[in-house]
């Protein structure tokens, strides 16, 4: 049940972020190019499970993209809004598909399920 709620939350975040991005008139090329950029954090696993999980999780929590969105809105910096929305969409997409934050025991151990 909890997994289903988190997947639904992810769908909502993905939908809202994409809709806001679309209605704001930002370019689709940037969206497509940056959508999977947070997954580059998987490179952290080259240093082991502990560091890999920490780096991956840092790139897959809502905190930084929310701060970017707030800063972009407050200071009227369009680039921060673009990156924040795309980052939020990525995290929402991951959650919707069942990919969660990683445990230090291994890449396949997440807070949503074992992959």
Q: What is the mean pLDDT of the chain?
A: 91
**β-bridge mates for residue 110, sequence order:** 102
Average the pLDDT over 21-37 and give the result. 95
**pLDDT, position 2:** 74
Is residue 115 one of the residues assigned to a domain? no
> CA 91, CA 93: separation in Å to the nearest integer?
5
The set of residues, in sequence order, having a beta carbon less than 8 Å from that of 113 and lying 6+ positions away, is 3, 98, 100
> CA 6, CA 26: separation in Å to the nearest integer?
28
The percentage of the chain sitting over the pLDDT mark of 90, rounded to a whole number, equals 77
Pair 109, 102: CB distance under 8 Å: yes
**pLDDT, position 55:** 96
Q: Which residues form the domain of 62?
A: 2-110
Is residue 36 one of the residues assigned to a domain? yes
Is residue 82 one of the residues assigned to a domain? yes
Is residue 75 one of the residues assigned to a domain? yes
Is residue 8 one of the residues assigned to a domain? yes
Is residue 76 one of the residues assigned to a domain? yes
pTM above threshold 0.85 = yes
Pair 51, 58: CB distance under 8 Å: no
Q: Is 61 helix (H, G, I), strand (E, B) or coil?
A: coil
As for how many domains the chain has, the answer is: 1
**What one-character DSSP code corresponds to residue 60?**
T
pLDDT band at residue 19 using 50, 70 and 90 as cut-offs: very high
Q: Is the pLDDT of residue 82 over 60?
A: yes
pLDDT band at residue 99 using 50, 70 and 90 as cut-offs: confident
**β-bridge mates for residue 103, sequence order:** 106
């Amino acid at each position: 049940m909890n997994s289903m709620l988190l997947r639904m939350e992810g769908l909502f975040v993905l939908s809202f972020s994409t809709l806001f991005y679309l209605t704001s008139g930002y370019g689709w090329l940037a969206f497509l190019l940056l959508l999977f950029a947070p997954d580059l954090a998987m490179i952290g696993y080259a240093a082991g499970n502990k560091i890999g999980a920490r780096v991956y999780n840092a790139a897959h929590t809502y905190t930084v993209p929310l701060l970017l969105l707030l800063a972009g809105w407050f200071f009227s910096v369009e680039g921060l809004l673009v990156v924040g929305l795309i980052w939020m969409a990525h995290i929402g997409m991951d959650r919707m598909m069942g990919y969660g934050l990683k445990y230090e025991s291994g890449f396949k151990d997440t807070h949503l399920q074992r992959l």
